[in-house]
Amino acid sequence: MLNVQKAALFAISALGGLSNAKDIYVSPTGTGTGTSTSPYGSIQSAVNAAAAGDTIFLKAGTYKPTTNIQFKTNGTRTSPITVRSYQTEKVIIDGENLPGTPYGLDESLPNKERGIFHIQYANYWKFYNLELINGPYGIYARDASHNYYELITTHDNYETGFQIEGASSNNTVLYLDSYRNRDPRKNGESADGFACKSGSGEGNVLRNARLWDNVDDGLDLFMFGSPVTIEEVYSFQNGFNRWGFSNFNGDGNGFKLGITGNPPANHIVRNSIAYSNAKKGFIDNGNPGSLTVERNTAWNNGDVGFNFRSSSSSLKSNIAAVNVGSAQVTLVSTVKASGNSWQSGTWSNSSFVSVDPSTLQKARLSNGRVPSSEFLIPKSGEALGATTKADV
Ligand SMILES: *[C@@H]1O[C@H](CO)[C@@H](O)[C@H](O)[C@H]1NC(C)=O
Ligand SMILES: *[C@@H]1O[C@H](CO)[C@@H](O)[C@H](O)[C@H]1NC(C)=O
Ligand SMILES: *[C@@H]1O[C@H](CO)[C@@H](O)[C@H](O)[C@H]1NC(C)=O
């Protein structure tokens, strides 16, 4: 067949594929049927109407659902279902009117009421550029795989901002900002910035995220039995009682990477920073696996920088400096450590080009990444610790 004919056929079949996919519109003031000129008012209506290949566009404004938005259908690998802000419009989904915001101390939060977005048995979805606030969890994705999240912000929720749980694999979370999440229901015991918890599944990735001012830990992989990949994640100022909770239970670690008795989970943590957290920077929390921990920096935390009690983790080219603990690190003797800052002399604030985190905390760049800076770059020029510079 001539190449021209092949190309024409390809174009026709591609159009055929596209023509099945619909665009569905929602607006906070909508009263219509989901078209661009007559959008739905309810995100749930759009989610219910969506099939593989469809795109749901949320128009600018603040949505205030009164029931948790349930995702329970599947896209496919080649035709995922997309939920995104229309163009680059600002979309806020405010969960304050949902049940459980908050329930009383020690009351339980039923599964279906977890998450402004409750994503369960729902695979091949993509989410872009959405802000979820004041919910009973922001994103709660359980038994959900092959989903992709980009530029999601979750803050001031009454539980963890973004949680993956259960049998969940191959999820990618890129450019997450998750902050000031807290749990009055538990006096700070449970609300993290990001958690991938209580479950298993390969291929979950968190990359270029900022997790700060959360009541418990910045990141928690409690009881997750498979490796999670964490790269370019900045976890700071977590674990302080900013809400005046009595019997405060916040843990305040930057990165909590397991739990004693977990099935061993060989998590990978690279190029990430824990700073100014109430307690420790990076901890395996007794995870008996072999974690790979490379080019990370723990600075100015309220306790040790790295606390690894597991038998065989590998710590390479990390920095622990200016942490306020009995030591910069506490490592069981069987941890394999090489080329880390604590193996080469004394480090202080003056060892760094900059100890000013303010650039890291500024608005993201148009490509989604956090702005790069000299924050915690060794003055010596040694290839040690994390860098926010994209060229590494
Ligand atoms: C979505 O896919 C999962 C995994 O194949 C399956 O268990 C579930 O039943 C599917 N959901 C629907 C609504 O078809
Ligand atoms: C995850 O993705 C990889 C690569 O595409 C694939 O080989 C693997 O089967 C997926 N895992 C699951 C549980 O679907
Ligand atoms: C290091 O610098 C930070 C930021 O300026 C400051 O808060 C901290 O107290 C300093 N620590 C020491 C030991 O100098």
Whose atoms come closest to the Cα of 77: which ligand?
2
Strands 117-120 and 69-71: parallel
Ligand 1 lined by 70 (C-beta under 6 Å)? no
Query: Which DSSP category does 156 fall into?
Result: S
Q: Which residues of the chain have pLDDT under 70?
A: 1-19, 390-392
62, 96 in Cβ contact below 8 A? Answer: no
Q: What is the pLDDT of residue 20?
A: 80
Burial of 266 (0-12, 13-18, 19+ CB in 10 A): middle
Q: Tell me if 314 CB under 6 Å of ligand 1.
A: no
Atom of ligand 2 nearest to the CA of 170: 1
pLDDT of residue 6: 45
Distance of CA 133 to the CA centre of its chain: 15
197 is an active site residue = no
Rounded CA-CA distance 186/248 in Å is 9
Task: State how far the Cα of 257 lies from the Cα of 296, in Å rounded to an integer.
Answer: 14
Q: Which residues pair with 231 in a beta bridge?
A: 207, 270
Q: Which residues contact 116 (CB under 8 A, 6 or more apart)?
A: 65, 68, 69, 93, 95, 98, 132, 135, 136, 137, 138, 139, 157
User: Any idea which architecture 62-79+112-341 has in CATH?
Assistant: 3 Solenoid (2.160)
Q: Distance, CA 349 to ligand 3 centroid (Å)?
A: 6
Q: How do residues 295-335 score in pLDDT, each as one tens digit? A: 999 999 999 999 999 889 999 999 999 999 889 999 999 99
Q: Which ligand is nearest to the CA of 350?
A: 3
- What pLDDT score was predicted for residue 15? 47
The count of C-alpha atoms lying within 13 angstroms of the C-alpha of 84, restricted to the half-sphere facing its C-beta, is 16
Q: Which atom of ligand 1 is nearest to the CA of 145?
A: 4
Q: Is 342 helix (H, G, I), strand (E, B) or coil?
A: helix
